């Protein structure tokens, strides 16, 4: 038995915020042909300018047009991640709409999978296993492994976001019993804000409506050694 997916009304939009790096990534879409996104390199000015960029970016839409918000929950920079999650939670609370906290690593993995069901190419769109790694503090790495469903309607988590030593990660990959594509998260991650918005919409279509209070950051490590 298949579940019938819900769709947004053309006048409803999803908004995504990516703030886990020095860049700010914003995306908005009604998933009916109207989508736009933009990335700014704000570095330390992120906290003081985020609201201004948000207000300008959503125009001509208004806050009342938003049906849900997606936010990158990390891993990533401690301060940027916290600012993004707090902003999304505040908007979700004030607007009374769901907030989807999406993994930075999951968004990067999804960006490697053609999202359009009509996308044509010889190899399978889904079924591919994607391992993602990102440098962490104190010589460790953030790591996760994902796999898209054959119809690319969902991203399954095979190994949840975690932090480990490079040696442990190499051992994990060496013992993995299927082929995989390895991706290293370096720069330009804010550009995956569109993939993050797509992942949130897939969950929204399946009827998920997470309360804003459920949106929590994933830091993985303490910001300083204790």
Q: Is 110 helix (H, G, I), strand (E, B) or coil?
A: helix
Q: What is the rounded distance in angstroms from the CA atom of residue 199 to the CA atom of residue 106?
A: 9
Q: What is the pLDDT of residues 41-72, one digit of tens each?
A: 988 888 889 999 999 999 999 999 999 999 99
Domain check: are 63 and 130 in the same one? no
| Pairwise pLDDT comparison (221 vs 52), residue with the higher score | 52
The pLDDT, as a whole number, for residue 51 is: 92
In a domain, 5, yes or no: no
CATH number for 79: 3.30.420.40
Domain check: are 55 and 87 in the same one? yes
Do residues 167 and 175 make contact, with C-beta atoms less than 8 angstroms apart? no
- Binned at pLDDT 50, 70 and 90, residue 118 comes out as very low
Q: What is the pLDDT of residues 65-96, one digit of tens each?
A: 999 999 999 999 999 999 999 999 999 999 99
What are the two backbone dihedrals, phi and then psi, of residue 215, each rounded to the nearest 5 degrees? Answer: -80, 105
The pLDDT, as a whole number, for residue 5 is: 77
| Of 131, 25, 133, 35, residue with least CA distance to 81 | 25
Task: List, as one string, the DSSP characters of 168-226.
Answer: HHHHHHHT--S--EEEE--S-GGGGHHHHHHHHHHHHHTT----GGG------S-SS--
Domain check: are 21 and 96 in the same one? yes
In a domain, 79, yes or no: yes
Q: What is the rounded distance in angstroms from the CA atom of residue 74 to the CA atom of residue 142?
A: 10
Q: What is the rounded distance in angstroms from the CA atom of residue 156 to the CA atom of residue 23?
A: 27
Domain check: are 93 and 81 in the same one? yes
Q: Which of 1-15, 35-49, 53-67, 164-178 is the least confident region?
A: 1-15
Q: What is the rounded distance in angstroms from the CA atom of residue 16 to the CA atom of residue 19?
A: 10
The pLDDT, as a whole number, for residue 47 is: 83
Domain check: are 17 and 91 in the same one? yes
- Binned at pLDDT 50, 70 and 90, residue 122 comes out as very low
Q: How far is CA 173 from the centre of its chain?
A: 23
In a domain, 88, yes or no: yes
The pLDDT, as a whole number, for residue 115 is: 55
Q: What is the pLDDT of residues 177-212, one digit of tens each?
A: 889 999 998 878 999 999 999 999 999 999 999 999
Q: What is the rounded distance in angstroms from the CA atom of residue 119 to the CA atom of residue 170?
A: 33
In a domain, 170, yes or no: yes
- Non-local (6+) Cβ contacts of 132 within 8 A are 105, 106, 108, 109, 143, 144, 145, 146, 182, 183, 184, 185
Domain check: are 82 and 111 in the same one? no
Domain check: are 67 and 99 in the same one? yes
Q: How far is CA 201 from the centre of its chain?
A: 11
Domain check: are 46 and 125 in the same one? no
| Residue 124: pLDDT over 50 | no
Domain check: are 150 and 111 in the same one? yes
Residues pairing with 36 in the sheet: 28
In a domain, 42, yes or no: yes
Domain check: are 128 and 179 in the same one? yes
| Pairwise pLDDT comparison (122 vs 187), residue with the higher score | 187
The pLDDT, as a whole number, for residue 120 is: 41
Residue 174, domain extent: 107-184
The model's pTM: 0.89
Domains in the chain, number: 2
| 6 DSSP assignment | P
In a domain, 96, yes or no: yes
In a domain, 124, yes or no: yes
CATH number for 174: 3.30.420.200
In a domain, 113, yes or no: yes
Domain check: are 23 and 67 in the same one? yes
Mean pLDDT of 124-137: 82
Domain check: are 26 and 89 in the same one? yes
Dihedral sign, Cα of residue 42, residue 46, residue 49, residue 53:
positive
Mean pLDDT of 22-27: 95
């Amino acid at each position: 038995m298949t579940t019938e997916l819900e769709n947004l009304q053309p006048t409803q939009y999803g908004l995504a915020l990516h703030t886990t790096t020095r860049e700010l990534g914003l995306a908005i879409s009604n998933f009916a042909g109207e989508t736009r996104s933009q990335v700014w390199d704000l570095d330390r000015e992120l906290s003081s300018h985020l609201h201004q960029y948000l207000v300008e970016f959503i125009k001509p839409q208004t806050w009342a047009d938003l049906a849900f918000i997606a936010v990158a929950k990390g891993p990533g920079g401690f301060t940027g991640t916290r600012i993004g999650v707090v902003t999304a939670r505040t908007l979700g609370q004030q607007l009374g709409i769901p907030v989807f906290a999406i993994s930075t690593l999951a968004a990067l993995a999804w960006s490697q999978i053609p999202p359009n069901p009509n996308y044509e190419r010889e190899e399978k769109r889904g079924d591919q296993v994607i391992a993602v790694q990102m440098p962490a503090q104190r010589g460790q790495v953030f790591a996760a492994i994902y796999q898209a469903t054959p119809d690319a309607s969902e991203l399954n988590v095979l190994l949840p976001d975690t932090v480990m030593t490079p040696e442990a990660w190499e051992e994990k990959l060496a013992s993995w019993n299927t082929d995989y594509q390895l991706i290293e998260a370096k720069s330009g991650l804010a550009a995956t804000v569109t993939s993050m918005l797509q992942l949130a919409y897939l969950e929204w279509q399946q009827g998920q409506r997470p309360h804003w209070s459920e949106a929590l950051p994933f830091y993985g490590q303490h910001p300083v050694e204790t």
